A and B are shown apart, each in its own frame.
Chain A
Amino acid sequence: MRKIFLIIQREYLTRVKKKSFIVMTILGPLLMAAIVIVPIYIATTTNEMKRVAVIDETGFFREKFNDSDNIKFHYLKTDIRSAKEMFSHGEDYALLYIPRTDVTLPTNAILYAGTQVNINVRSYIRNVMSRRIENLKLEAQLRDLSTDKTKPIHVDDLLQSIKTSVNISTIKIGADGEEEESYPEVSMILALFGAILIYFFIFMFGSQVMRGVIEEKTNRIVEVIISSVKPFQLMMGKIIGVALVGLTQFLLWVVLTFIIIIGVTSTFSTKTISDTAQQQVTYQQNQVLNPGQLITSGQESEKREGVNHVLEAINTINFPVMIGSFLFFFLFGYLMYAALFAAIGGAVDSESDTQQFILPLTAPLILAIVLAQFIIQAPNGTLATWLSMIPFTSPVVMMVRIPFGVPYFEVAISMALLLLGFLGTTWVAAKIYRTGILMYGKKISYKELWKWLRH
């Protein structure tokens, strides 16, 4: 145990002291912060006027959508089918459809658009709708209270009971009128981002393990070391050491990214956030007296709210779950692949001999990342579900699916299978590794590897 710790320590320290590690640690957060900050920046600067057509079958929202600085609403009297037809030929940015509801208040709407709907537009619509419905609920509650004077008034309960979240699904209408459901931008970005990050981490740190093994072999130090420790200890020490390097890098990235984002956004949004909070309070207090007040004040701070909308959307993501599952799938996906990378390193004499083995090994990973863009369109489809179960593709595919919500039991099965996959590949890798590291100057074929495995 002491020896494996010594090996882990060496592998870890020699890597984190490298210049390349330090450079990556600084560049990574800058890149990630840019990914978050740029959309915010764009959201606050685009001033192009967007025309949104509204079909309100419920009648609750008549004249409630007031124009803002860059959104203009106009109401259509036609039915949805002809409206959609008109939309594909017209100049409207989006078509908002609020379908009729029979019993409940309408909390669902569909937004048709030719492109991805701007996050600002969607937030604005959601705000208007939820406030209107909250008003309606409040009115109903107040009516109840006025008829039954004996009922005690609990303000907290009251506020709680009127809280409404509006669900707006967006559907992309192609030029040919073809419809395709699109998902919230933030989830999509996170899905792709998580998947790419895992792909990249497994590749980068897996090949670091492989290069480390090749280095020990070409330096001819491996035999010196395995006269002190077991080959398996050396292999696992290296894999774990590099894993810790990966985790260190990831955590530094997360921390530094947050620092940068907070640093940049605080310059123009700390005030906004507290403003909005204040607004919310006054709104809830004043609502009874002046129901129309909010939308006007909303308009005033519309620009600043753009920032908040993005931050708000980010806040809807469950970060503990995201980061937790990222860490699990990264760690075990990496461990599974790293063992095989180590086996390749042990089997070959130099890095130039690795190609024939690396490609088949990484093919599932590459396949997963290529398919990610399709999986994102149908995150709960058959293909997505299967690929998120197979250990070789699950780390990447699960990261694509998780932001859209995956049943817990599926995640649990996937994790269990990945764990099994890790144990399996480690067992296979250890056998190849311990034979390979003592072979010099021999070109290794698959047939040879098979022999080592059975030996």
Chain B
Amino acid sequence: MDLFTASNVTKQYAAHKALERVSISVQEGTIFGLLGPNGAGKTTLIRIINQIIAPDEGELLFQGRKLLPQDVEKIGYLPEERGLYKKMKVGEQALYLAQLKGLSKSEAEKRLMFWFSNFEIMGWWNRKVEELSKGMQQKVQFIVTIIHQPKLLIFDEPFSGFDPINVNLLKEEILSLKESGSTIIFSTHNMSSVEELCDHIALIDKAKKVLDGNVKEIKRQFATNTFEIRFNTFEVELRTILPASFEILESAIDDELRIARIRLPRAAGPNDLLTQLIPHVTIHSLNEIIPSMNDIFIRVVTEQKPES
């Protein structure tokens, strides 16, 4: 079931179009990656989902019905540009933000106590935010984002400003949130985290959605039927034993073994390659080359360029 859908969302700023007929649908209990180069319109879409700005056109559905103003209490949002009141005490501030999300004071207090002790920052409750390290502030920020147990969580560039240790911590938290039933939308430039975390992605470029779907399916779709083989026969010229339709992309020598990347014609499979090679060489390994999300991202975005 879709927890959230946006259909044909358009947003025009004075001179430029920020979003043009963008549609996404986010399944309940999954992690949805919103990708795209800088200035593509991701943050605009996220702000529209958070009802910070209104779309010019398009329909937004939440839990199967129209998105309502009070739904902000069911959404948790960690913006890209985020911070806290520097002069305010940590606990007081967390309480304030939790209450703004609709929690009663006592409930907010109870839950904050739990999370603060969970993150081992209980001792900071009465300290001012400016005394905290950046990583510590991010933790507080994360807590107040999820404190009201939102159905939908939106993280805009959540990893920016985190060191690698905290990035891992955050990834674990995001995965455990997913396990506990939350639905998550997040936008990022960090493609490796997309592969680790996301079930679905949508790629936005120049205000338009250019790609979306299940991560595994997209990768398969972008696979080029290329295989990497390692073998130990040095005197054979590969070109002479393979049919012309088998394209050799790369050939190199690595210590003991030779490595080659071969793109197969559409109809051929790995077995066809092996049948051709086995009579001549000793195969050590064969792997299919699956494009990384990074490759796909670059390919899609650069392919878009000439159109503009």
Residues of A within 8 A of B (CB): 3, 6-7, 10, 14, 215-216, 219-221, 223-229, 231, 438, 440, 451, 455
CA distance A215 to B85 in the complex (A): 8
CA distance A226 to B53 in the complex (A): 10
Known contacts being A3-B100, A6-B100, is A219 close to B86, with CB within 8 Å? yes
- B52 with A227: CB separation less than 8 A: yes
Contacts of A225 in B (CB 8 A): 97, 100
- B97 with A228: CB separation less than 8 A: yes
Contacts of A219 in B (CB 8 A): 83-86
Beyond known contacts A7-B100, A228-B102: 9 more, CB 8 A cutoff: A6-B96, A219-B84, A219-B85, A220-B83, A221-B83, A224-B97, A228-B72, A228-B100, A438-B53
- A455 with B81: CB separation less than 8 A: no
Chain B interface, number of residues (Cβ within 8 angstroms): 28
Most buried by B among A215, A219, A440, A455: A219
Residues of B within 8 A of A (CB): 14, 47, 50-53, 72-73, 75, 77-79, 81-88, 96-97, 99-102, 141, 144
Contacts of B97 in A (CB 8 A): 224-225, 228
The 4 closest A-B pairs by CB, nearest first: A220-B83, A223-B79, A228-B100, A227-B77
Known contacts being A220-B81, A221-B82, is A14 close to B100, with CB within 8 Å? no
CA distance A215 to B77 in the complex (A): 20
| Closest Cβ–Cβ distance, residue B28 to chain A (whole Å) | 21
- A14 with B82: CB separation less than 8 A: no
16 interchain pairs, CB-CB under 8 A:
A14-B85, A215-B85, A219-B85, A221-B84, A221-B85, A223-B81, A223-B82, A224-B79, A224-B82, A224-B83, A224-B97, A226-B52, A227-B50, A227-B72, A438-B52, A438-B53
Of A216, A229, A455, which is within 8 A of B100 by CB? A229
- B75 with A227: CB separation less than 8 A: yes
Total A-B contacts with CB atoms under 8 angstroms apart = 61
**At the interface, is chain A mostly helix, strand, loop or mixed?**
helix
Contacts of A224 in B (CB 8 A): 77-79, 82-83, 97, 141, 144
Contacts of B51 in A (CB 8 A): 227
CA distance A421 to B75 in the complex (A): 37
- B82 with A228: CB separation less than 8 A: no
CA distance A229 to B51 in the complex (A): 10
CA distance A226 to B81 in the complex (A): 12
Contacts of A229 in B (CB 8 A): 100
- B47 with A438: CB separation less than 8 A: yes
Considering the complex, give the chain B residue whose CB is closest to the CB of A215: B85
CA distance A223 to B141 in the complex (A): 12
- A14 with B87: CB separation less than 8 A: yes
Contacts of A14 in B (CB 8 A): 85, 87-88
| Closest Cβ–Cβ distance, residue B61 to chain A (whole Å) | 19
Contacts of B53 in A (CB 8 A): 438
CA distance A226 to B78 in the complex (A): 12
Most buried by A among B75, B78, B85: B85
Considering the complex, give the chain A residue whose CB is closest to the CB of B49: A227
CA distance A224 to B46 in the complex (A): 13
Known contacts being A223-B52, A223-B79, A455-B14, is A228 close to B101, with CB within 8 Å? yes
CA distance A3 to B85 in the complex (A): 18
CA distance A21 to B82 in the complex (A): 29
CA distance A453 to B96 in the complex (A): 31
Considering the complex, give the chain B residue whose CB is closest to the CB of A216: B85
Most buried by A among B52, B88, B101: B52
| Closest Cβ–Cβ distance, residue A41 to chain B (whole Å) | 42
CA distance A223 to B144 in the complex (A): 13
Contacts of A223 in B (CB 8 A): 52, 77, 79, 81-82
Considering the complex, give the chain B residue whose CB is closest to the CB of A451: B14
Contacts of B87 in A (CB 8 A): 14
Contacts of A3 in B (CB 8 A): 100
| Closest Cβ–Cβ distance, residue B88 to chain A (whole Å) | 7
Contacts of B52 in A (CB 8 A): 223, 226-227, 231, 438
Contacts of B78 in A (CB 8 A): 224
| Closest Cβ–Cβ distance, residue A55 to chain B (whole Å) | 68
| Closest Cβ–Cβ distance, residue B16 to chain A (whole Å) | 13
| Closest Cβ–Cβ distance, residue B129 to chain A (whole Å) | 9
| Closest Cβ–Cβ distance, residue A441 to chain B (whole Å) | 10
- A10 with B82: CB separation less than 8 A: no
Contacts of B102 in A (CB 8 A): 228
CA distance A243 to B77 in the complex (A): 30
- A10 with B81: CB separation less than 8 A: no
CA distance A220 to B83 in the complex (A): 5
| Closest Cβ–Cβ distance, residue A426 to chain B (whole Å) | 20
Contacts of B14 in A (CB 8 A): 451, 455
CA distance A451 to B53 in the complex (A): 16
Contacts of A226 in B (CB 8 A): 52
Contacts of A221 in B (CB 8 A): 82-85
Considering the complex, give the chain B residue whose CB is closest to the CB of A440: B81
Contacts of B141 in A (CB 8 A): 224
